[in-house]
Structure 1
């Protein structure tokens, strides 16, 4: 079953082994060129880069194919590793030498497996040499927007060890790039609560000080009608389409993250002398709290921003340059 390409598809995180990028039985397609070979920016130049959908300088550009297909490593059959292509940094394969899986029958290069530490484990099938084939059984129905809350698993923002979820860091970073582009450089007012916690600090750093000129809030299925200047809307987990919002600018956010922001209240219960909350408060689970402030993923933010034509505007290009040179400074560290 085809699903939307995850926001963390190309994320690198930590130094531990990460789980599989894709759920078993699902696949996603990357519309961007990806993988080996790579060419440095100095060789490509700004004009050619724009024809490939990149609008500001990057270290290098992929000249791999568009449409690479991501699947879970456990779903792959009939392939063998290519001798001499199995290098990695630490614990597995990291794709540095290009395709590393060949067809077991004919020996043709067909895919690239990535399973090193810091990477989400995935196999990228080469769209030039593989094709989709029909499967037995009925096709899975696409969920209606109104069904997402009940039919879509949520991703909690904080992991059991107290760290922010890397999926949240990637999803918010991708949405943040679109949010900045939609702001036009104007100060954005952020609603209180979880939205302010994950978006507010970074907007405070990247946008000019002063009173808000534009409003931001969540909009989507199950929420009361609202008409902010900029709306955070869910991105459908199967189709990748953004929820239709006609009252202003829409910024898509991964549905699993959007749903949690829209329908959870993680404010901690505190003891109050003479309070009347009763046993319900004592029995309620205490929400997990992070051990530090939220930091959007630096790589995912830049990867998304550099592919938006708005980054050519002087004010946003200045933001891009500042963030690119300040990886180890606020608000990304």
Structure 2
């Protein structure tokens, strides 16, 4: 499948921003199963300097230094991404979760060090005893790690209610767990806290999801949104993506932008300002399928 993605973020400030510095993660990753055909980022007002780079997780990032006084900031990212169907995984044919230490520690390669990083709790994914108990229900001794991961993802999907009014970006995972409601970011953080309670490698993934309107109704412009899910590691399959918000293994309608330990590592836009005061932010995302990947190859897209 080939998707055209438009992601517009608009900040309006009560008073003038004299200068601002921003870190941006809005460039989809090129990775197995995902081909980035085009990406552009327009910024208004134009930055005095722009530095494109790669962060410590291999994500594309942009550092913007805006020195023009402004009361409005607009970032418009446009991307065309081709998604290929992922392989089918045999979840029960993976190493048991309580035998992962042997698989991870028997070799001291750089890859293993990078995987070990994602076993550690981060600021937004620190588990409590209650969260650890909740996680343990999916991981009986010797259960295959990805089979247990699917069970945990389905339990979160069934036990928690999607409610965009219940939380905001600062809501801690402990409150999400207590309320049993939240949004995709909350469910991803909760799942990660569960995995990290058991020292299972798992990472936070940010990106986009192609949504479909109800039958007989048109898709509304701007109705999509940024999305978040998780990725869990096994020696047999490597990293496999799961979506706790929808209770599924991720296939070819999720477009990955970045991954890290939690939202802090991959926030679409963060920064520091001189001035500005109170502000409002409007975000609009459209994800439209423009072609099936196979058809696109035939037609030379």
Using the size of structure 1 for normalisation, the TM-score is 0.24
Structure having the larger proportion of residues in strand: 2
Using the size of structure 2 for normalisation, the TM-score is 0.26
